[in-house]
Structure 1
Amino acid sequence: MVLGIDPGTAICGYGFVEQIGSRLVPHAYGAITTPSKMQPERRLLKIYTELENLIQEHRPSAIGIEQLFFNRNVTTAIPVGQARGIALLAAAKNDIPIVEHTPLQVKQAVTGYGKATKEQVIYMVTKLLHLPEPPYPDDTADALAVAICTAYCVDSIAWRNRI
Structure 2
Amino acid sequence: MSLVILGVDPGSRITGFGVVRVANGKIEHINHGVIVMDGDDAFPRRMTELGSAFREVMEKYKPEQVVIEKIFLGKNADSAFKLGHARGVIMYEAGLGGAEVQEYATRSVKKGVTGNGGASKEDVQAILKVMLSLKTISRIDASDALAMACYHAFEMKKKALMQRAVSL
TM-score for both structures, normalised by structure 1: 0.91
| 2:129 corresponding residue in structure 1 | 126
What residue identity is the alignment partner of 1:117? S
Structure 2 unmatched ranges of 5 or more: none
Equivalent-residue separation in structure 2 for 1:11 and 1:121 (angstroms): 19
Secondary structure of the structure 1 residue equivalent to 2:113:
helix
Gaps of 5+ in 1: none
Equivalent residue letter for 1:43 = R
Q: Tell me whether 68-77 or 119-128 shows the greater mean CA deviation.
A: 68-77
Matched residue type, 2:126: Y
Q: Does 1:31 align with 2:34?
A: yes
1:96 aligns with 2:69: no
User: Does structure 2 conserve the Cα–Cα contact (< 8 Å) formed by 1:61 and 1:96?
Assistant: yes
Mapped contact 1:109–1:148 kept (Cα < 8 A) = no
Q: CA RMSD in A?
A: 1.7
1:8 is paired with a residue whose SS is coil
Determine if the alignment matches structure 1 residue 17 to structure 2 residue 28: no
Structure 1 residue aligned with 2:114: 111
- Conserved in 1, the CA contact under 8 Å of 2:12 and 2:47? yes
Larger-Rg structure: 2
**Residue 86 (structure 1) aligns with:** 89
Structure 2 residue matching 1:15: 3-state secondary structure? strand
Q: 1:153 aligns with which of 155, 161, 168?
A: 155
Report what 1:6 is aligned to.
Answer: 9
Change (3 A) 1:124 1:87: same
Deviation at 1:20, TM superposition (A): 2.8
Equivalent residue runs for 1:54-69 within 5 Å: 54-69=57-72
TM superposition shift of 1:19: 2.1
Structure-2-length-normalised TM-score: 0.88
Query: Does residue 1:74 correspond to 2:77, yes or no?
Result: yes
Where does residue 139 of structure 2 map in the other structure? 137
- How far the C-alpha of 1:157 sits from its partner, in A, is 4.0
The residue number in structure 2 matching 1:43 is 46
For 1:82-135, what per-residue CA distance to the aligned partner results, in whole angstroms no more than 9, with x for missing partners?
1111011011212311111011110012101212122211111111111012x1
Query: Quick check: 113-122 or 6-15, which moved more?
Result: 113-122
